[in-house]
Structure 1
Amino acid sequence: MAPDRGAVALLARLVACRSIAGGGNGELIAEVAHVLEGAGAVVHVLDGTRSGVSVLHAVLGPADAAGGLLLAAHGDVVDVAGQRWTSDPFSLCESDGRLHGRGATDMKGFLAAALAAVRASDPSALRAPLHLALSHDEELGCAGIGPLLDALGDNLLPAPLAGVVVGEPTALRVVDRHKGKAALDITVRGRAAHSATPAAGVNAVVATAQLVGQLEALGSELAGEATDAAFSVPHATIGIGPIAGGVAVNIVPDTCTLKVETRVLPGQPLDGIVGRIEAVAAALETELQARAPEAVVAVRQVAGYPALAPDPAGAAFAAHVGTVAGRGSGGAVDFGTEAGLYQQRLGVPVVVCGPGSMAQGHTPDEYLTVAELTAGEAFVAGLIARLRG
């Protein structure tokens, strides 16, 4: 397929919309809605989970016909703060066949490819519907997809789907699994004291360091339990994030905060591993309260999403998508997506497949090649062609 400069122009318009996770997305939603309405789609813009943000659903073809396809994307991108770019991250820059811009790979490239393919299609020729869904705040632990899933479950899917394709960058390889994740905030409260008499206090920073060691030990336990060789890290993990505590060196810190995540394999109970983390925290709290009854080790889950699990009943759908993509089916990715949520809520086959590589996602000078964008458009066009037959 020859390069479609229309797809490049669409990507440029999407990149110019500064839809940073946690911020607004009105400009992006309006842009996508405009293109889809111009292509003959019925578009629904719904309130998101925060004020000033929206989610979008569109459908082309006979919505009440069975066997339709849902293409899913997120419109938000990660921030560029602290990164050194050689061009404006919100102005698409083409150089040596590479299209540089924030979100070019993750995942406005897929969205541009899908819009270009839809714009070139004839909705009246479809025998089964094509649905498109656009969420917000995926980069914040899939925090913005809830209203979209609710609406899809209530009335926006009047007939059973054949399946869902989440267009995250996989080099157009069809992926049938990824890990689930929970993000946790932990607050440790001890007792302040003068640093000249440290035994009079309970040092929350020291207690947090002790907790980190215990969580590292739990992570080693998990590595010796369930495994899946399809992942580059074939077991569940516990990640230690930012730690902050104390106000001055001459005061025993009475508060310290810690951010932790756990990523679990498909089939592993995410709540169960979160429960093991909470048990470690509770044991430490009991130990600290022996010295200061007011001590607390509080764990709060702030984000999370389920794993995408291989589905034998969806093997035919995965093979179908793989045939259209031309890059093979099966396999895993280590990053998370909204796919597990679609699988959990809609109960239909779900795969992840999109142009580009996540190795470029979130990086300075993020890029998608023109060839990858063209291949992505051909992929979506191929899926639409199957809906005609």
Structure 2
Amino acid sequence: MVAPERTGAADPGTARPDDTAPALDAGPGPALAAPSDRTPTNGDTPGPPSAESGRFPGRIGSVEVLAAVLILLIVLRQPLAGLLATPSLATWTTVFVSVMVQAVPFLVFGVLLSAAIAVFVPRSFWARALPRHPALAVPVASAAGVVLPGCECGSVPIAGSLIRRGVTPAAALAFLLAAPAINPIVLTATAVAFPANPEMVVGRAVASLVVAMVMGWLWLRLGRADWIRLPRRPDLDDTSRAKAFWSAVRHDVVHAGGFLVIGAMAAASINVLVPERWLQALADQPALAILALAVLAVLLSICSEADAFVAASLSQFSLTARLAFLVVGPMVDLKLIAMQTGIFGRGFAARFAPTTFVVAVVVAAVTGMVLL
């Protein structure tokens, strides 16, 4: 197993000034000649575009695709208006828009904070802020989630930025899981949603903190550096801080935002397709009720600032089952899996999400038995 102290430093997604140049020269195919190397003649065949242009003539990009979609929406506005009038599609649209409206502000907040960490915070700060021993850094990073008033959509790019700045992945992942579940906004919303059950606030905070620390320690024990493949970011090196900051913001908004849209679409589709009577049938069986609400939290993909009110409305389920809903939701859901895939890679998401789900369900069940 790779030593934790070397995991963050050896991260393949970290771009360094000394390895950027070889990466640019090692690509397949013929190298592009510099403009001063050869003067073109009249008989020359036009070559590929230069590195500065960055685009091939006639290539379709995101701007062209967006323009085409807008034109289609204008042309087909009458048929689309009729389709939106159907109850199922209206519900799908409502769920999709609600997930996006809840998530986008916190995603933007997380992206801005992530860019600030990546550009303005020196690596030496993390060496001083966190204990040197990775096993001790995990609980410190988990407890640091209390001070971040954001949701899971913002914690994913922040965790990626922490790893780039040299923080051991175990601590960064513990922060990723704890921040959206134990910050003051989420705990206050939980207290408002459960005014007659203040123990739900304590149960959520304790269970979420335990899950974050267990997952961090599991990564120290079983994790491998090559499971995390952060996108290379040469745009953060050899440039001014202002340019690097806005480059990081644009990159993370497009990268994480696209996967957020995919996750929101999947959550809306499943919300429409799952019959409500299935929930009522499961509510009478305690063990299955816990698992059912945990799976429901994954499928609904509700923002952690709003999930307590949804859990409170599921009054046919026990408090322990609803606690599982509150613990699992901010750590594993469809939009989070999609965003983790985009930022950390498929191999990471395929291992991290199922393991987190199992640990969260077990810890929530035990916490509910003890505290609720």
Per the TM superposition, whether the score is higher than 0.5 is no
TM (norm. structure 2) is: 0.26
Larger relative strand fraction: 1
Query: Would you tell me which structure has more helix in proportion to its own residues?
Result: 2
Structure with more relative contact order (C-alpha pairs < 8 Å, separation 6 or more): 1
Question: Scaled by the length of structure 1, what TM-score is found?
Answer: 0.25
